[in-house]
Amino acid sequence: RDADADTLAVLDEAAAAAPLRGVIHCYSTSPQMGHEAVAMGLHLGLGGILTFRRSDELRATVRDLPRDRILLETDSPFLAPLPHRGKRNEPAYIPHVAAVLAELWGTGTDEVARITTENFFRLFKKAARP
Report the pLDDT averaged over residues 4-19: 91
Domain-embedded: residue 107: yes
Domain-embedded: residue 8: no
Domain-embedded: residue 46: yes
Q: What is the pTM of this model?
A: 0.93
How many structural domains does the chain have? 1
Domain-embedded: residue 2: no
pLDDT at 1 over 90: no
pLDDT tens-digit readout, 73-118: 999 999 999 999 999 999 999 999 999 999 999 999 999 999 999 9
Domain-embedded: residue 26: yes
Spatial distance between the Cα atoms of 30 and 20, rounded to a whole number of angstroms: 20
Cα-based angle 100, 102, 107 (whole degrees, multiple of 5): 155
Greater confidence (2 vs 74) lies with 74
Domain-embedded: residue 47: yes
Domain-embedded: residue 65: yes
Domain-embedded: residue 14: no
- For position 75, which CATH number holds? 3.20.20.140
* pLDDT band, very low/low/confident/very high, at 130 (cuts 50, 70, 90): confident
